[in-house]
Amino acid sequence: MRSLRSRAAAAVLCALMGLPAAVANATSADAAVVQVAKYDFEDGTTQGWGPRGDGVEVGATSDAAHSGSASLLTTGRTATWHGASISPPFQKGVTYQITAYARLVSGEAPSTIALTVQRTPDGGETTYERVAAATVTADGWAELSGTYSFGADSSGLQLYAESSDATASYYIDDVVITSDTDPTRSGLSTDFETGTAQGWSPRASASLAVTTDVAHGGSRSLAVTNRADFWDGPAISVLGKMAKGSKYRLSAWVRLGPDTPSGNLGLSVERRTNGTPSYERVAAPKAIPAGQWVELTGTYTLAYDVDFLSVYVESDTGTFPFYLDDFTLTYVEPKPIQTDIPSVKDEVPFTMGAAISRAQTLGEHGELLLKHFGGVTPGNALKWDATEPQEGEFTFAEGDYLVDYAVRHGLTIRGHTLAWHSQTPDWVFKDGDRDLTSSPEDKALLLRRLENHVRTLVGRYKGKIAVWDVVNEVVDENQPDGLRRSKWFQITGLDFIRTAFRVAHETDPAAKLFINDYNTEFPRKRQALYDLVKKLKAEGVPIDGVGHQLHVNIEQPPASEVEATIEKFATLGVDQQITELDVSVYPDFVSTYDVVPAEVLAEQGYRYKELFDVFRRHKREISSVTVWGLADDDTWLSTFPITRLNAPLLFDDELQAKPAYWGVVDPSKLPPLVRKLEAPAARPKVDGERDLEWDLLPDVPIARVGEVSAGFQARSEGRCLYVLAEVRDPRANRGDRVTFTVGGTPYAIEREGGHPRGVDAAVRKTEGGYRVEARLPLGSSAGGTGLTVAVKDGSDGSTATWTGTVTPVAAVKLTTAPQGRPVVDGTIDRVWAAAPEIRTATWVQGTSGATARVRALWSGGTLYLLAQVADPVLSEESANPWEQDSVEFFVDPGNGKTKGYGDDDGQYRISFSGKTSVGGPLDPAAIAGNLTAAAKVVPGGYVVEAAVKLPTITLADGTLLGFDVQVNDAAGAARTSAVTWSDATGQSYKDTSHWGVLRLRR
């Protein structure tokens, strides 16, 4: 995606296409001659050339040609300097050889035609420098040839053809620009130490001035002021500095201007082909703290023939001033792909696909794609905004390119996607300026638009696209009926789904039609989608398959939930495909790595292994698995949910195989993985029964092997380790056993109850398997004791294992919430007296400060919470709510104890004045409505009462909730201390694994 397979081949291709090509036709950077660009007009366009002077017209014509069948005709001139011009890919310090051919239109008298460069040196006057000239007639083609270079930073460069006859019309053809070095590899840097703008210019009305007020490096930077819009700011031409298909790293340092407290800045590229602009993000806008220099950096691959190319800095909103310094553009030398490793597509029993854009078809990326994948999904090229931006005006350039590429190389194609609530233009849901409603007339209008769109796309690619995602992400499990309240649904109900499938089937009966969604591995989403598909199929809607996106992370959700989803939909008799697979290296939404640790990449490899074990077991139900991207150098997770380094795919930034690849292809080559397990202090009774102590935490899953899988836990007491294993093995055999190896000593406990002498153990039969409980000797080790849990299936000898270290920790904290319903008004009702009191005494910041006494009640589907805070000095001066005097309640309805938040986990914050804020899940707004709160200042502190609705579970006697509470103590605008009830890590805002447990009782 980011590098060129063969520069010679690319240059030849561009030449054959007749397009300007910023590519090298040599095989090394020090080759004598490098072709920078060629313009031959064989494609019937001007290839970026435009008129110079009022009344001048330029256009491609077949009336005459030096070679081929077309040239560029210039007419309408009224001055000698009038003619055809282009912004040339010239850079300071490079010597260029320019050759062109010219001929007068029949009937014109001989005259001199010249090639000239116009430029404006920074701080100087505009100059006009002749490159080549010749006497030209109408009888034949004359060659214009010369060299050109310049040594000063300059802007406004133009290469143009002019004539000594002010009105002569003429043709030019075969304009070729070469250089003695390869400018597409030499890079570009600006530091403003010369006191000039060094080629940077404003995109609109912005003012650019070199200043010594601040600097990232050296003593100068570029001050950017008077911006007209968020996109206005400094831009620099990089035309000729990038080769099509090559990868470049861009970096710029930015800082907010004076009196600018906050703002987001990013780095983007504008490219144009025949005057049509496109914009691509290199570094997504990110927050720039006041007074700090921040680097904007990213990689970019030029995937198109262009006649304009620039890099610019923009904000995501606002026109605030900022500074720019130390910009660099660096060519990234590509690594050859590994050809001596197995192809992924040959190692799996289903079609292996990848989501791609045009860049992934070029160079080494194209080689990687064709070696390892048998199918492709255009990531964005077939979505509504890309194919029908205006009603009835279809654009198929990108879709055609990718579909034709796939067909040419024998790749299957998934069409993604026909109807979606996102990336659909506003006009689709409007009638002029009026928003469509659910009236019969508006509904009919919207369905007609949908039908036209579906017929057009499916019809265009009939026989080429084998599978379509007909509707995408239509389920919302938080709605009573499980359906997303998109504009599609609000206006048409389910009819948009029915219409899209019907029309797609009518248009191409051979295509397989899918409904596609994310989070289908979560029980509530799974059930909602299942109910919808079952209903629609019963109506006769032609749904052929269900797509499971599977955007997962290295820890969650368990592979067993993925398997449960596949098994559930198999009962509907539909095909299933994994459509958008990636595995984030982060278990939460806020953590970041500067470099992803090797042990995390190893863990990711094992995660891919267990997922593909599931897929292979269900090869009859799964026809395709598609990873959402080709390699880590281009993944949507680099900017979602925040901008951060992520590495979710099988191949790294340099297209080399990672542990993730080996987890799919050959797990025996994975590096050793040692997991970590905490054993909270406890003394459960060893009787084979699952008592309350074991329910305080979820079981650690052991990946399924064959028909056997398991989950286990550990507790500690002094030198003893208590273990519990829940084994799922439907067939009892004499050889079935669980072996716990602690500190190198194995303890085998048989399904029939046999165990080593001197070991306290018990086994109980369970539905679909058995439970093992034991007390084992535990050595003492500061770094933890080695532990292996091996579950053997006696029928075939296969073994499911978990290997890691176990470390004793403090007991899981447990409290109780009786049934009761207070009034949430900040006044302590008598009903609170029935609730036991807990106290915050676990310091996560500081060692003293505000503390609280906390109680809990429940009624219906609501949890009620009370905090009596001792804090004599109260402050809300900070703009950050967590730095104000406040109480935070943490609630996990499923008691999942995960390192990240689930979508119903919540961090509910109430300040002493009653202000509320919510954090935790990916979309905190989705749970914000769950919170009702009141606060009242009292002598020596304040009282907080809160009601938290928990709609995703049924509250009942015995329900266990993950729970914690934190008190933030502020002085002025700073938080001086924070104390919790349970979690000592200080990570409660992103990690639920160390919260305590709240048990509901009648």
> Which residues are annotated as catalytic?
473, 517, 580
Cis peptide before 641 (omega within 30 of 0): yes
Give Dmax over CA atoms of the chain in angstroms: 113
SS3 content of the chain, % helix, strand, coil (to 5): 15, 40, 45
Output phi, psi for 80, to 5 deg. Answer: -60, -35
Q: Tell me the HSE value of 375 on the side-chain side, using a 13 A CA sphere.
A: 25
Q: Long-range CB contacts (< 8 A, 24+ apart) of 639-642?
A: 639/281, 639/284, 641/589, 641/922, 642/589, 642/590, 642/592
Answer positive or negative: Cα dihedral of 434, 438, 440, 445: positive
* Nearest-angstrom CA–CA distance, 632 and 683: 46
Q: Exposed, middle or buried: residue 736 (CB in 10 Å: 0-12, 13-18, 19+)?
A: buried
Asked if residue 416 lies in contact with residue 378, where contact means CB atoms within 8 angstroms, the answer is yes
Which residues have CB under 8 Å from 475's CB, separation 6+? 482, 483, 484, 517, 525, 528, 529, 532
Q: What gap in Å lies between CA 285 and CA 267, rounded to an integer?
A: 7
Q: Distance between CA 932 and CA 935 in Å, rounded?
A: 11
CA distance 606 to 628: 18
C-beta of residue 823 within 8 angstroms of C-beta of residue 829 = yes
Cα 78 from Cα 166, distance rounded (Å)? 5
Burial 597-635, CB ≥16 within 10 A → b, else e: eeebbbbbbbbbbbbbbbbebbeebbbbbbbbbbbbbbb
Measure the CA–CA gap between 811 and 714, rounded to whole angstroms: 11
| Number of Cβ within a 10 Å radius of residue 975 | 21
Confirm if 789 and 804 have CB atoms less than 8 A apart.
no
What residues pair up with 299 in beta bridges, in sequence order?
A: 249
Residue 899 tokens read as 């390192």
Give the C-alpha separation, 208 to 259, whole Å. 18
675-680 sheet: strands from edge to edge: 675-680, 799-809, 785-792, 737-742, 745-750
Both tokens of 993, joined, read 């694994």
**Is residue 189 classed exposed, middle or buried when 0-12, 13-18 and 19+ CB atoms within 10 A define those classes?**
exposed
Sign, CA torsion 614/617/619/621 = negative
Q: What are phi and psi of 23, to 5 degrees?
A: -135, 160
CA distance 626 to 379: 11
Cβ distance 428 to 446 under 8 Å? yes
Query: Distance between CA atoms of 541 and 499, rounded to whole angstroms?
Result: 9
Give phi and psi for 703, each to the nearest 5. -60, 140
First to last CA, the chain: 61
- Helix 559-570 vs helix 523-538: crossing angle, to nearest 10: 10
Yes or no: say if 87 and 308 are a contact pair by the CB < 8 Å rule: yes
Cβ neighbour number for residue 815 with a 10 Å cutoff: 18
